[in-house]
Amino acid sequence: MNSSATPPQGDEEKPSDARLSDEDRAIIDLSKRHYRTADAHAAAVRTELGLSVTDYFRKLNRLADDPAALAYSPIVVKRLRRNKLR
């Protein structure tokens, strides 16, 4: 049996994840967190990402349709997709 025919396993980055920028990952990661108020969420967007709330949601909605974002964080992206349909 030839072990070189088996693809390597481990901590290698998925090719689809490589298409996400650091900012895209940060946006997805921030959307995972829960905030008590909309003001607290908006403050986190401004201070941690340096984005306006409008730009944050615009980029987040774009990421909801991106297969690379789905590969990076399937639970978050599926939640975003469900909420977009409402």
Summarize pLDDT for 27-69 with one digit per residue, the tens: 999 999 999 999 999 999 999 999 999 999 999 999 999 999 9
Look at 78 and 83; give whichever has higher pLDDT.
Answer: 78
Closest CA to 56 of 34, 20, 24: 24
- Looking at residue 8, its pLDDT comes to 47
- Spatial distance between the Cα atoms of 73 and 16, rounded to a whole number of angstroms: 12
| DSSP structural state of residue 65 | T
- Spatial distance between the Cα atoms of 46 and 23, rounded to a whole number of angstroms: 13
The pTM of the full predicted model, rounded to 2 decimals, is 0.75
Closest CA to 18 of 69, 76, 79: 69
Residue 7 binned pLDDT confidence (cut-offs 50, 70, 90): very low
